[in-house]
Structure 1
């Protein structure tokens, strides 16, 4: 999963350095080398390296990877264009963050560009002290001015971070190597973690002239290789087609404890392919070194080629990256369209989706049905609400669906002709309640006679194996769903502007949800283009529950609030929950290797892997 790691709700920060900072109210603050979320950080200040790495891993060799579609920008601060692979904020090869996550702890980070953090008891601000040795690739030091510039740029130019940093009101230089973020809320334990994962960009480079003699503009896309402080640089590229990163011999942080055993490939080459199938053929032929398979059918039938049989290509199913990740993969009706404002219509769409039949005939029984917005974690609601969760929901009783107090959520079950007929009959009944009726073979609005028809927007042809059978099922009850697959650029632009009737998406959750919930289902994001509120949710009860999640005072309160939020989201039938697996299916050519024991919560690819032929 190409993921942007969201680390949430800070509970503890352990590991003192020897100096202290002074808070705004005179409180003496302790500088910390690590931020822990659920448990105290396991590595003490001054640790040599993470336990999961090979500190003797050889440096060298070339890693060949694939990417789909195209790219047209190297600017990570924008939500415009197609950002090149390898530059995604918080997972970039070129830029770096203030703190770096550990792969064998859930929600714990250690100092990278910053050597320490300090904050007061009320979480009203957070200070970071930059490392004196941190340098940009041109040799200039990383400064507080760079941090301020980066924060202001991301917050102004990228809609995701506009919401994510909504309660960070300013960043300012407060010392020679010190920068302070001020928050407009107290008690929001997540905010220090959020700003610790800010990607830092070089102000002096972005505000200078480019090779053409014209001023650079961070508000515009660019294909000029950007300057970073990270271990790699953009060495060569063919616009939209290929991209090569080269390991920097002069990287300032190569011997830093959080980097020992990391960044082992000399070159990382991305080749873009028109679609997933073409990329897989390149992998089979040896032109791509690593493949993460997301299609159960291909995993079951497509890996019988000679290199697998000879042992030159190795396969594994690993639970590691999913041990802390909650998943909701769904088809999402856009409630900005009037037809989808009625929850009964949305529920009818759920009854028309026969997961069991698809799992048997298409997926080789390789998936499980999703029944939570936090599926796969202890954050998922189950049974009926009790205890603290029930108390929270009672406070909102007149604003939430009444069935959440009496009926646990469950998906319809299909898989046989009899069950399918029963489900479609239920769907027709719900549509009748919503004001629709069958006229001939068409489901129409009883008042206007307008047929019930909409378009499902997809980003890849491989999703059609699910979309087409679903369309056929809907047609049995008179609903016309057109399936439209567009190229990646058009899909991203339409998604950002909410220009779709229904789409298909995946939300990933950590075990510590927080401020990003406003981005997903909060009223403040419903009309902001580029937000991930794809369903168009604007509900005061959900807003109230999101606040309870964000301001939870302890783990039990966080669990109760998240269960309540999950339960209400499900009861409104905002999405048609689909399916997922709880293991990562990977295949790779044996010309590379990895530590014998991979970290508890990650595969570590490519960060801690290495070439056998350096």
Structure 2
């Protein structure tokens, strides 16, 4: 006799289509039975060692807790997810732990059928109860980082009608939820029987391609390839994770990393600092270590990097103050003098992508904005999407600074004895919280320019642990951050911009955005039925946020700058959307 849960599953499956993979808004690129991804070498040999540098350090091997500095490889290498993301498509997921995925036709559930070959590192089979335990731990345990709770907020419950079937029931229709659940990292239900807080430094029991081998005082972690890895011949793993040993070497100071590169300590490095790229790596020095520099073009949506302002605090609750700070930053001279003119200006929360707002609103985007018109200034409809100011090549930054001071005077500040003061006579003082010394050269010029209009900026450099603690508790005026976005924006937008996230420590709503128009627009990331609808929703959200001036836009590069060893094999085809270090680690090999 069938149980009630089993009957529910049968009814859902009867109206759903089981698939090896799913794509959002378009067909999947790879058909059932495909041999491997196009951006791997399916015949890559196994063996050798791969060493990467990572900033900071770690004091916990538990990758899921809010507290602590997490070791990076535990989540990346030891855990499998229900599905694997395809890197040649805006958003496509192919079965990994799940051999097929069945979204219900009513959009209110999704069923994952687990591969009977899947095994944890302790030898146990991966079962539905492990999927349920993983999900419930990440979304209900108070010690877990809140991003999981926001990301899967529309899941009502997970059911396990049989040993290898997990059914996620939704509170309401959500356009991408059936796919984002494929990103769930699955660990054994034996991992945290007493909760995350009771195992603050305990790695999960995973089923991934590597096992944690050793760590050293928060400075080194080493992983060894599981030669009996259950999924190594699946299409989504063929030709991947080829190194026998993967090492992460953590560094506190960037100079240590640079000397490590020149000393041949690393096999692959991504360089994000233009000055280092131009001056720190002489070809002759690299050649001695069989290292060379390369530039890889990419099509990634760059998101938004910038100096975010904390709207929870005065004076940043005043949009005129925020706009003044945006006006005051001299990107052009910074790019020329410090960055060798290698960067382009970030102008959108979806920079370099089709989801960025352009010009004046029209079509489907305009229709969405009309729905929240009462909450928006007229400029949203009558003006082009705000672009970062440009420095006059002849007059320099002075015209922008004058505009900034005029905005501050409109906000009630007055110029007295060389400084701006509010009506109570208090000077306008801003603290810039920095995680390292990298930004001192950038903030030095900005601080001097602000002083010209009477604004005092103090720069506070905090060590990584203190910085993360202050970031989690929103204890800052202004800091550097990145709103990372993909080609398919979705539920992560709630963590970035919702009122609930603004009130939750550890969320990624660093600015403290809580706006009725934004709240309404976020709902469209749950309910779109086509790629066109998603693009319209993204552009509308982007436009509204840019009119709020919550961040001083920074810059991005349209290519990845990397240094790697000549003995490192790299697949001939690069994916369309990728992170270079992660792609090299997961698809590279040691040449024989």
Same fold (TM over 0.5): yes
Counterpart of 2:176 (choices 160, 175, 190) is 190
Against the structure 1 CA distance between its residues 205 and 350, is the aligned structure 2 distance closer, same or farther, given a 3 Å change threshold?
A: closer
Against the structure 1 CA distance between its residues 42 and 392, is the aligned structure 2 distance closer, same or farther, given a 3 Å change threshold?
A: closer
Query: CA separation in 2, counterparts of 1:510 and 1:419?
Result: 35
Paired residue for 1:10?
Answer: none
Query: CA separation in 1, counterparts of 2:265 and 2:365?
Result: 52
1:520 aligns with 2:492: no
Paired residue for 2:85?
Answer: 101
Paired residue for 2:312?
Answer: 336
* Cα offset, 1:311, TM superposition: 8.6
Contact 2:324 2:403 in 1 (8 A): yes
After TM superposition, list the pairs within 5 Å mapping 1:429-578 onto structure 2.
429-445=406-422, 447-578=423-554
* Cα offset, 1:297, TM superposition: 1.5
Counterpart of 2:189 (choices 182, 187, 203) is 203
Q: 1:263-294, CA deviations, whole angstroms, 9 ceiling, x for partnerless residues?
A: 11000111111222211210111011111010
Contact 1:22 1:29 in 2 (8 A): no
More off after superposition, 418-427 vs 368-377: 418-427
Contact 1:73 1:222 in 2 (8 A): yes
* Cα offset, 1:154, TM superposition: 0.8
* Cα offset, 1:225, TM superposition: 4.8
Paired residue for 1:262?
Answer: 240
More off after superposition, 159-168 vs 543-552: 543-552
Secondary structure at the residue paired with 1:398?
A: helix
Contact 1:77 1:153 in 2 (8 A): no
Counterpart of 2:63 (choices 76, 91, 112) is 76
* Cα offset, 1:309, TM superposition: 4.9
Q: 1:136-167, CA deviations, whole angstroms, 9 ceiling, x for partnerless residues?
A: 11111011111111001111222111111111
Contact 1:456 1:503 in 2 (8 A): yes
Secondary structure at the residue paired with 1:251?
A: coil
Paired residue for 1:410?
Answer: 387
Contact 2:283 2:292 in 1 (8 A): no
Paired residue for 1:609?
Answer: 588
After TM superposition, list the pairs within 5 Å mapping 1:142-221 onto structure 2.
142-156=126-140, 157-186=144-173, 188-207=174-193, 217-220=195-198
* Cα offset, 1:398, TM superposition: 2.1
Paired residue for 2:330?
Answer: 354
Query: CA separation in 1, counterparts of 2:283 and 2:12?
Result: 67
Q: 1:399-440, CA deviations, whole angstroms, 9 ceiling, x for partnerless residues?
A: 112112222112211154624111111111101111111111
More off after superposition, 29-38 vs 407-416: 407-416
Against the structure 1 CA distance between its residues 484 and 498, is the aligned structure 2 distance closer, same or farther, given a 3 Å change threshold?
A: same
Query: CA separation in 2, counterparts of 1:252 and 1:380?
Result: 41
Query: CA separation in 2, counterparts of 1:202 and 1:373?
Result: 37
Secondary structure at the residue paired with 1:148?
A: helix
Secondary structure at the residue paired with 1:326?
A: coil
Secondary structure at the residue paired with 1:568?
A: helix
Against the structure 1 CA distance between its residues 220 and 419, is the aligned structure 2 distance closer, same or farther, given a 3 Å change threshold?
A: farther
Q: 1:436-473, CA deviations, whole angstroms, 9 ceiling, x for partnerless residues?
A: 1111111110x211111021111121121211211111
* Cα offset, 1:61, TM superposition: 0.7
Contact 2:24 2:531 in 1 (8 A): no
Paired residue for 1:272?
Answer: 250
Contact 1:160 1:519 in 2 (8 A): yes
Paired residue for 2:351?
Answer: 375
Query: CA separation in 1, counterparts of 2:314 and 2:466?
Result: 24
Secondary structure at the residue paired with 2:247?
A: strand
Secondary structure at the residue paired with 1:362?
A: helix
Contact 2:9 2:161 in 1 (8 A): no
Query: CA separation in 2, counterparts of 1:25 and 1:309?
Result: 60
Residue segments in structure 1 that go unaligned for 5+ positions in a row? 1-19, 208-215
Contact 2:346 2:556 in 1 (8 A): yes
Counterpart of 1:121 (choices 105, 110, 125) is 105
After TM superposition, list the pairs within 5 Å mapping 1:286-301 onto structure 2.
286-301=264-279
After TM superposition, list the pairs within 5 Å mapping 1:587-606 onto structure 2.
587-602=563-578, 603=580, 604-606=583-585
Paired residue for 1:14?
Answer: none
Contact 1:21 1:29 in 2 (8 A): no
Query: CA separation in 1, counterparts of 2:18 and 2:271?
Result: 43
Residue segments in structure 2 that go unaligned for 5+ positions in a row? 1-6
Contact 1:401 1:568 in 2 (8 A): no
Paired residue for 2:3?
Answer: none
Contact 2:210 2:225 in 1 (8 A): yes
Against the structure 1 CA distance between its residues 371 and 51, is the aligned structure 2 distance closer, same or farther, given a 3 Å change threshold?
A: closer
* Cα offset, 1:217, TM superposition: 4.4
Q: 1:524-581, CA deviations, whole angstroms, 9 ceiling, x for partnerless residues?
A: 2111001111111100011111112332222222222211111111111111111111
Secondary structure at the residue paired with 1:154?
A: helix
* Cα offset, 1:24, TM superposition: 4.5
Query: CA separation in 1, counterparts of 2:500 and 2:42?
Result: 46
Against the structure 1 CA distance between its residues 150 and 576, is the aligned structure 2 distance closer, same or farther, given a 3 Å change threshold?
A: same
Q: 1:188-236, CA deviations, whole angstroms, 9 ceiling, x for partnerless residues?
A: 12110111110001112433xxxxxxxx642345444542111111111
Secondary structure at the residue paired with 1:206?
A: coil
Q: How many residues align?
A: 579
Secondary structure at the residue paired with 1:338?
A: coil
Query: CA separation in 2, counterparts of 1:58 and 1:27?
Result: 43
TM-score normalised to the size of structure 2? 0.94
Counterpart of 1:315 (choices 289, 293, 297) is 293
Query: CA separation in 1, counterparts of 2:297 and 2:376?
Result: 35
1:34 aligns with 2:21: yes
Considering only aligned residues, what root-mean-square deviation do their CA atoms show, in Å? Answer: 1.8
Query: CA separation in 2, counterparts of 1:596 and 1:235?
Result: 31
Tell me which stretches of 4 or more aligned residues in structure 1 moved more than 6 Å.
none
Q: 1:478-513, CA deviations, whole angstroms, 9 ceiling, x for partnerless residues?
A: 111111111111111110100101111011111221
Contact 1:354 1:415 in 2 (8 A): no
Query: CA separation in 1, counterparts of 2:234 and 2:8?
Result: 24
Counterpart of 1:65 (choices 52, 61, 66) is 52
After TM superposition, list the pairs within 5 Å mapping 1:238-253 onto structure 2.
238-253=216-231
Paired residue for 1:15?
Answer: none
Secondary structure at the residue paired with 1:87?
A: helix
Query: CA separation in 2, counterparts of 1:205 and 1:310?
Result: 46
